[in-house]
Amino acid sequence: MFRDEIGGSDENGYARLGGKGVHGDPFIDLKLFCHGDSGTPDALFGADFSLDVSHRDFACNSVYYDPINEVLIDPTGRGISDAEKMLLHVVCDPQLRRPASVGQVSLRYFKFLLRGFQPTAATRKAIEERFIPCLSALTDADRLGYIKRQIFGKLAASEHADAKARLEAAVKSCTVTGLWNECFEPICGEMCT
């Protein structure tokens, strides 16, 4: 539950069930509640998911599973539908997260675009105006590590060149001037290594 905002999945509140994606094995990464600190009132569990949802990225990643009753809980009312329709609705409240974490949401946005998801107009606007500016809070090394884990980590090596070209096209399709040159070009040569 309590995690570092930047770091590998083994360090930041995820539990992996199944095999390794790069080998084609089926798996799912489960994210635990991520808000609050040990011993504070923010670490209470209950029926209200609103605080935890505001720490997620998109509605499609804000669906919860109740293993006792074996039901999915969709507090946004659109998470399951968005996953099925491959839509992105941003649910993250950037005011509640550190700038580096907000910058990571923009990188996840590009990951979802590469997987065929389409953003709503409001999501695209929010990402470009409120999330992408926070990429500067990540060092080149942190940005590179996150891109490698999120975008290239689950791909076979033979898919890297195509993913890199599609990432460049997606980044350059943003209305944010110079985004590729400032945040991606300096680390471009190391993305697929």
- Structure confidence by residue, pLDDT tens digits, 24-48: 777 666 665 554 444 445 544 555 6
Q: What is the pLDDT of residues 82-96, one digit of tens each?
A: 999 999 999 999 998
Q: How does pLDDT run across 104-149, given as a tens digit for each residue?
A: 999 999 999 999 999 999 999 999 999 999 999 999 999 999 999 9
Q: How far apart are CA 162 and CA 98, in angstroms?
A: 32
pLDDT of residue 31: 61
pLDDT for the residue numbered 2: 37
User: Which whole number is the average pLDDT over 8-12?
Assistant: 43
Confidence check: pLDDT of 150 > 80: yes
Specify the pLDDT at position 30: 65
**Would you kindly state where each structural domain of the chain is located, as residue ranges?**
14-190
The more confidently predicted of residues 53 and 112 is 112
Q: How does 15-41 read in b/e, with b if 16+ C-beta sit within 10 Å?
A: eeeeeebeeeeeeeeebebbbbeeeee
pTM of the model: 0.79
Residue for token digits 């974490």? 101
For residue 64, the 8-state DSSP code is: E
